[in-house]
Structure 1
């Protein structure tokens, strides 16, 4: 795993990664607004500091946005909460029942039937179990589709909650990890992450060849990447 150097610019902590690239790339990452800068190997810390100072107000704006979203995403799983599913916003409706069950109705409501004694943690566990099941259904369709298009084959797909990534790939083991949160996003973003990780079976690095392959199989991939990274993780 790559290691970055941490520098401070005013009140901002910046992690700097030196790579074999031509340009500087600055990102404010979800979920808590960490600042990451990727730079060519010969670039000095002073150049990085000047870049951060130039973008200071933009960075602070995005950090604040992520922090506010983080507070809004805390859930108690009670009626009236907004929950996203496959890119659509739903209102949660809690109904008490002997056994837990979840149903999506009228493209507007998610009905969550729960035993009256369930705690918030139990509700969350069951809800995330349901999300995982729904994501698996999507992957059973989309992964074979893109394996055929790209001409690759994976051995295993795993789902987990990730704090800083939408997905990852182990090219040697041919194993994909996908973020559970993807089931909440529009399908085209899920497809983008699948294609991104499958391409790593052909090219491990994010180099020119990788980008060419992404553009070949998913011409709008840069748009999807930018839009997806605007979401809170």
Structure 2
């Protein structure tokens, strides 16, 4: 029973991070009309902005694409060993993101828009590249296009006789729904409170991680 409880705590943490990603991305779209958790569309948007010689859009898009890269790069430095264990750096990283958003909420009238969108994209990059394994599944909490692909592929394998792949289909499908749920939550809040709520959610994610770690997931 103890092992099942620990596993449940870990699943809740992964779900919470995915909900948080959906919330951040939808909030960024509401606030700035720009997604920050995925960048296929942003690169295409950048190409169109360059073609249309819209220098303001070009600059904004370059900022958020590079910020996502920088966030993923930071996670790469911290988790370069590619061995998952409940180390303090996961919680510290989430608390650090909370601090960034607390400052953005406090100084929101003084912070340029490009810096705000960059901070959101940086957080998404950090989170997506955090090296998290659930069993033999590599978790990417902002990578919904990948989850859609993987869910479809797992279902196809299941239909072709590999019944053990059904759990992959369930995992990916649930996380797509969690991301959707986070986006719905962002659509319901007062947009002026977006950054302070983001800060609070990242703080909760970090605090929950430390509690989970103390109770000994592994």
TM-score (norm 1): 0.26
Higher relative contact order (CA 8 A, sep 6+): 2
Higher helix share: 2
Higher strand proportion, which one? 1
| Greater Rg by CA | 1
TM-score by length of 2: 0.27
